[in-house]
Amino acid sequence: MRKMLVGTAVGLAASVLVSGIAVAQKDAGEVSVTATRIMSSKTVGRTSSGVPIVDVSMSYTVSFQGLNLASAAGAAEAEKRVKDAALSACKDIGRQYPDATPSDAECARITADKAMVRVHEMVAAAGRGR
């Protein structure tokens, strides 16, 4: 059974879980896509059995330079870039921590979904600016 929690830290003895996903605007043409899994580095708590819960994250900056976000093609390319970055970040964490759960694909879906909120805001703003 795979367990996943978004937005909080929970750990199991030998498994790694997805924690929260942070998305921050770098400037008008970039989005930071951050995949987070619990494993090593900074201890953020302990399980009921005393196993340390540790937070590991990886961020990729996605540039929208050269894209017209007001166009359907530009918006679709922005979404593709974010999904690709999310998958790359989750795969990188998965290579470092092969026992991580959930799968790289599920981690990427969650990460991209969180980042898409900002992407859709940027696309809407670009559409209003026509």
CB-CB contact of 6 with 18 (8 Å):
yes
For the ranges 36-45, 55-64, 101-110, the lowest mean pLDDT is seen at 36-45
Q: Is the peptide bond before 52 cis (omega within 30 degrees of 0)?
A: no
Average pLDDT over residues 48-63: 80
Residue of 39, 35, 43 whose CA lies nearest to 17? 39
pLDDT computed for residue 21 by the predictor: 36
CB-CB contact of 53 with 9 (8 Å):
yes
Average pLDDT over residues 105-117: 94
Dihedral sign for Cα atoms in the order 88, 37, 109, 101 = positive
Q: How far apart are CA 20 and CA 71, in angstroms?
A: 31
pTM over 0.75: no
For the ranges 77-81, 90-94, 97-101, 122-126, the lowest mean pLDDT is seen at 97-101
In 1-130, the DSSP E strands lie at 23-27, 30-46, 52-63
Q: What are the pLDDT digits (tens) for 8-31? A: 222 222 222 333 333 333 445 778
pLDDT computed for residue 64 by the predictor: 93
Higher pLDDT, 67 or 47: 67
The CA angle 119-16-49, to the nearest 5 degrees, is 135
